[in-house]
Structure 1
């Protein structure tokens, strides 16, 4: 799915400001023959919890799993404030141009994960966290 697929909840339920920035960036990226595909956007709390359980099983502990998957209470995907994009040419394009639209990679270990930081338009994207365990929003 692309950022234009309004009929899909993963896109349609993204925060309107994030979706608007994604669409503006996607329009500009298309001029460079780059298409943004949404690998994961908005997620229901139940789906987020399932992802966390699967990550615990995969990584062997919740401490390790939360480096990759947030809880339903802390995930910016559940609130519609985050999107995971691909393929790599899209994330490469956003690494170079995303700040112009307020779109920033938040975690060094997740080059596909972008969130809206409107201040980045003037100030550039903030320093990335190594992974979600460093993000104070993830602590509950």
Structure 2
């Protein structure tokens, strides 16, 4: 089609013109692939199930996934009991994230730095890997919102408390069952 167009315009066909264009496009694509490969090698592979990434609709009873299995056993048991009680109230609990590998937490921090422009601002939303309670298996994020509100009201029956004021989905085992939840931390200062 391009050759036909060139002939109609009465321009002489240049045998190497298409080859040059193809070479330039190939070089551009190779450069993009090389940059992408450098980014991948600098950041490592994308975190997956082995790092704690959980599929949608994960139950606390799904102990075949490292994100659930590697939770502190007492925390996992408390969330499982809460999930069972919540289900009786017609609310479905989803563990959106539980245990995370250090690598996964590092990736979340890097994304937050890119999003917020500085590590200081990013730390208002994501903990450093060495400080994250997800990395130690002592924190769990729950969804959807109705499950969060149920846990905020009833979680202390199981020892579960919202611990971060800016994250209604973040719960930790920080009291005895039936005890009082301690004041929340505000990572924003």
Question: TM-score under structure 1 normalisation?
Answer: 0.90
Aligned length: 132
Deviations 1:55-93 (A, max 9, x none): 000011100101111111110000000001100010010
How large is the RMSD of aligned CA atoms in angstroms?
A: 1.2
CA distance in 2, matches of 1:121, 1:80: 22
For 1:59, the equivalent position in structure 2 comes to 116
What is the SS of the residue equivalent to 1:6? coil
Higher relative contact order (CA 8 A, sep 6+): 1
2:39 equivalent in structure 1: none
| Alignment partners' CA distance in 2, 1:105 and 1:52 | 21
Return the match for 1:12 from 69, 75, 78.
69
Is 1:103 matched with 2:140? no
Displacement after TM superposition at 1:4 (Å): 1.0
Equivalent of 2:93 in 13, 36, 48 = 36
Q: Cα gap change, 1:74/1:54 in structure 2, threshold over 3 Å: closer, same or farther?
A: same
Contact 1:120/1:126 (CA < 8 Å) preserved in 2? no
What TM-score does the superposition give when structure 2 sets the normalisation length? 0.67
1:39 aligns to what SS in structure 2?
strand
Q: Per-residue CA shift, 1:88-128, capped at 9, x if unaligned?
A: 01001001100111100011101000000133623x10111
Q: Do structure 1's residue 128 and structure 2's residue 184 form an aligned pair?
A: yes
Select 2:144's aligned residue among 71, 87, 109. Answer: 87
Aligned residue number for residue 23 of structure 1: 80
**Structure 2: runs of 5+ lacking an equivalent:** 1-57
Structure 1 stretches of 4+ with a deviation exceeding 6 A read none
Q: Which has the larger radius of gyration?
A: 2
| Aligned mate of 1:115, from 172, 175, 181 | 172
